[in-house]
Amino acid sequence: MSYRAPVDDILYTLRHVAGLDRLEADGLAPELADGMADAVLREAGRFATERVAPLNRIGDKVGSVLKDGRVTTPPGWRDSYRDWAEAGWNGLASPPEHGGQGLPNLIQSACIEMWNSASMAFSLGPLLTAGAVEALASHGSDELKRLYLPRLVSGEWMGTMNLTEPQAGSDLAALRARAERAGDGSYRIFGQKIFITYGEHDMADNIVHLVLARLPDAPPGTRGISLFVVPKVLVNPDGTLGAPNDVRCAGVEHKLGIHASPTCTMMFGDAGGAVGYLVGEENRGLACMFTMMNNARLGVGLQGVAIAERAFQQALDYAGQRRQGRAPGAAGEGMSPIIDHADVRRMLMWMRAQTGAARAICYLTAEALDRARRAPTPEARREAADRAALLTPVAKAYSTDIGVEVASLGVQVHGGMGYIEETGAAQHLRDARIAAIYEGTNGIQAIDLVTRKLPLADGATVRAAIAVMRETVNALAARNTPGFGQAAARLGEAVDALDRATAWMLAAATDGRQTEALAGATPYLRLFGVGQGGVSLAKEAMAALDDSGQSEQGRTARVATARFFAEQIATEAPGLERAVVDGAGAVADAARVFAS
């Protein structure tokens, strides 16, 4: 089965959970007047469904292939990418002064979800290009902006992020790539980078590498890293393409999934030095890179949502068609569709509920990013920026864990057919697996959450987030609608658990129990996601009940999904809290277990 973009569901979450309606009402999204949000998402959904989704299977089967230093993408990919870029999708949220459309991050995020559901390997290239645009727009010189941004925004050129080296993955302090001043204001770059996504390919006329390297006199560690633009083909002062740069692709990895996305080993400066141009200041490259990475983290979280949505659609479709056994109380003759069996229903509801929860968390993050730029006062912008910072690691890690878990359940719903590659369910699991690793492993996200994000504004940011969750729980309890079952009680317990675990974490961070906090970081992040996700689904369900424009089926589905999450998933919360607050001893013991 192919993918059908769930535009209506996405719009509902955008409006009623993630605050698109309020953004518009507050006058912070004038570009979206006259139904622009709906129009853009419907058109994106159509393109994703009709043009991108058909690329996914051949991309997996054929993959991108390196020969004589050049990478060829799978049949149809180049043309589809060019059509996609020509339709203007690449610059959706880019600054209008560089040719973009300047739409809110919320709209961009919804599109990113759809592109990635259609084909994660395809959509990864534009995700990196967006990061390059962001870094250049924020930190590049006027000349760099003039020469590079228009074509990166249009998608004629694509961007990459060159951080990783064999000895330097999560730990960028260990970077060794070198940069030398050339005397003319430019630099020469030398070194090897690995795991470079879309490092070399045939989809765009030029590839703009953003490369971290050290100057000869740079201090050691992360304070001695600079960021450079290193184009595959040199750009003349008039913007035309010149000679090839001293950059080459030395290998393409054989990966578990996203086969069509070329993961390259890149060699810079083998033949005398690759020409590079400084972005921002010398030795301040990491700050520039974080600009790219924060956005990319939300993008990767959306990949988790996207692959979960696609896996869910495929499993739901199969479960409605495949017949085996007879469900208790089945009417008529013959075998029942497996969707009528309680255990299959449980799996599908789990997939649906977790996908919806992760989607809500990602869109809430996008909305915070929009307010951080668009809110009228510095205080409001600062508050929103902190909220975005808090939510970003949760959006990345919770959603990508869910992506893997939902894709794995999708295989399970298919039974033996799920294990056969032709079915396509297994590809989703293979593709999904990388999202929990790249752009900062999910363990790194959890550490970021507890060590850097919880202390924001002395803990006020996270306390405010929990207070908002509690408002929704209280509204749900006050409403007392029978269809919600025990949802209010279970969500209340989940938010209480999150509240106590948060207080414990804040205390641990301030009184020197850093190792204890780190030991509980992963279950804490999961607990945060469970609380935020469950509350968001409840909020959406209540909005549907109050919305006269919503169909009976739409209401029922939203209430049941919120109930399922609360009664079947949020029930994990007290156990997660225990794992957080009691975890340090058991984890510390590991030092002795593995001592031999």
Residues 516-545 contacting a second copy, CB under 8 A: 518-519, 521-523
CB 52 within 8 A of CB 119: yes
Sole window of 177-185, 204-212, 284-292, 344-352 interacting with a second copy (rule: CB under 8 A): 344-352
The smaller minimum CB distance to a second copy, of residues 126 and 523, is found at: 523
β 206-213/157-162 pair status: parallel
CB 178 within 8 A of CB 193: no
Q: Is 587 in the site for a second copy (CB under 8 A)?
A: yes
CB of 530 to a second copy, least distance (A): 10
Q: How many residues are recorded in the chain?
A: 596
**Contact string (CB under 8 A) for a second copy, positions 174-193, x = contact:** x-------------------
The smaller minimum CB distance to a second copy, of residues 367 and 577, is found at: 577
**Contact string (CB under 8 A) for a second copy, positions 107-146, x = contact:** ----------------------------------------
Closest CA to 399 of 448, 449, 363, 452: 363
Q: Is 4 in the site for a second copy (CB under 8 A)?
A: no
The smaller minimum CB distance to a second copy, of residues 183 and 416, is found at: 416
**Contact string (CB under 8 A) for a second copy, positions 478-517, x = contact:** -----x-xx---x-----------------------xx--
Q: Return the H-helix or E-strand segment holding 522.
A: helix 521-545
Residues 8-37 that bind a second copy (CB under 8 A): none
The smaller minimum CB distance to a second copy, of residues 370 and 448, is found at: 448
**Cβ-proximal residues to 132 (8 Å cutoff; 6+ apart), any chain:** 152, 159, 160, 161, 208, 210, 292
- Of 128, 235, 300, 446, the residue at the interface with a second copy (CB under 8 A) is 446
Residue 289: phi, psi to the nearest 5? Answer: -65, -35
The smaller minimum CB distance to a second copy, of residues 305 and 353, is found at: 353
CB of 404 to a second copy, least distance (A): 7
CB atoms within 10 A of CB 281: 12
Sole window of 19-27, 31-39, 436-444, 531-539 interacting with a second copy (rule: CB under 8 A): 436-444
CB 528 within 8 A of CB 449: yes
CB of 512 to a second copy, least distance (A): 10
**Cβ-proximal residues to 152 (8 Å cutoff; 6+ apart), any chain:** 129, 132, 133, 136, 158, 159, 208
The smaller minimum CB distance to a second copy, of residues 301 and 523, is found at: 523
CB of 401 to a second copy, least distance (A): 10
CB 299 within 8 A of CB 282: no
- Of 339, 368, 394, 488, the residue at the interface with a second copy (CB under 8 A) is 339
Tell me the one-letter amino acid at 144. Answer: L
- CA-to-CA dists, residue 352 to 121, 325, 359, 558, angstroms: 23, 24, 11, 10
CB atoms within 10 A of CB 205: 12
Q: Is 592 in the site for a second copy (CB under 8 A)?
A: yes
Q: Three-state DSSP class for 226?
A: strand
Rounded to whole angstroms, how far apart are CA atoms 29 and 93? 12
- Of 50, 83, 86, 171, the residue at the interface with a second copy (CB under 8 A) is 171
CB of 269 to a second copy, least distance (A): 23
CB 64 within 8 A of CB 257: no
CB atoms within 10 A of CB 39: 11
Q: Is 271 in the site for a second copy (CB under 8 A)?
A: no
- Of 344, 368, 466, 544, the residue at the interface with a second copy (CB under 8 A) is 344
Q: Which residue has the tokens 């399922």?
A: 564
Residues 141-170 that bind a second copy (CB under 8 A): 164, 167-170
Q: Please provide the DSSP assignment of 544-587 as one string.
A: HHT-TTS-HHHHHHHHHHHHHIIIIIGGGHHHHHHHHHTHHHHH
Q: Is 220 in the site for a second copy (CB under 8 A)?
A: no
Q: Is 564 in the site for a second copy (CB under 8 A)?
A: yes
Q: Tokens for 268?
A: 């810079």
- Of 21, 253, 282, 496, the residue at the interface with a second copy (CB under 8 A) is 253
Tell me the one-letter amino acid at 506. Answer: L
Burial code (b: 16+ CB inside 10 Å, e: under 16) for 385-418 equals bbbbbbbbbbbbbbbbbbbbbbbbbbbbbbeeeb
Q: Is 385 in the site for a second copy (CB under 8 A)?
A: no
The smaller minimum CB distance to a second copy, of residues 138 and 408, is found at: 408
Rounded to whole angstroms, how far apart are CA atoms 517 and 524? 9
Closest CA to 310 of 571, 18, 52: 52
Q: Is 586 in the site for a second copy (CB under 8 A)?
A: yes
Q: Is 256 in the site for a second copy (CB under 8 A)?
A: yes
Q: Is 553 in the site for a second copy (CB under 8 A)?
A: yes
The smaller minimum CB distance to a second copy, of residues 140 and 523, is found at: 523
The smaller minimum CB distance to a second copy, of residues 76 and 443, is found at: 443
Sole window of 7-15, 230-238, 439-447, 498-506 interacting with a second copy (rule: CB under 8 A): 439-447
β 263-268/206-213 pair status: unpaired
- Of 347, 358, 390, 508, the residue at the interface with a second copy (CB under 8 A) is 347
Give me the torsion for CA of 476, 481, 485, 491, rounded to 10°: 0
Q: Is 595 in the site for a second copy (CB under 8 A)?
A: yes
Q: Is 262 in the site for a second copy (CB under 8 A)?
A: no
The smaller minimum CB distance to a second copy, of residues 477 and 587, is found at: 587
CB 284 within 8 A of CB 432: no
User: What is the size of the binding site for a second copy (CB under 8 A)?
Assistant: 101
Sole window of 128-136, 337-345, 369-377, 464-472 interacting with a second copy (rule: CB under 8 A): 337-345
Q: Is 345 in the site for a second copy (CB under 8 A)?
A: yes
CB of 20 to a second copy, least distance (A): 24
Q: Is 568 in the site for a second copy (CB under 8 A)?
A: yes
Residues taking part in catalysis: 439
Closest CA to 145 of 135, 157, 155: 135
Q: Which residue has the tokens 């030991």?
A: 519
**Contact string (CB under 8 A) for a second copy, positions 394-423, x = contact:** ----------x---x--xx--xx-xxxxx-
The smaller minimum CB distance to a second copy, of residues 432 and 462, is found at: 432
Burial of residue 455 (CB within 10 Å: 0-12, 13-18, 19+) is: middle
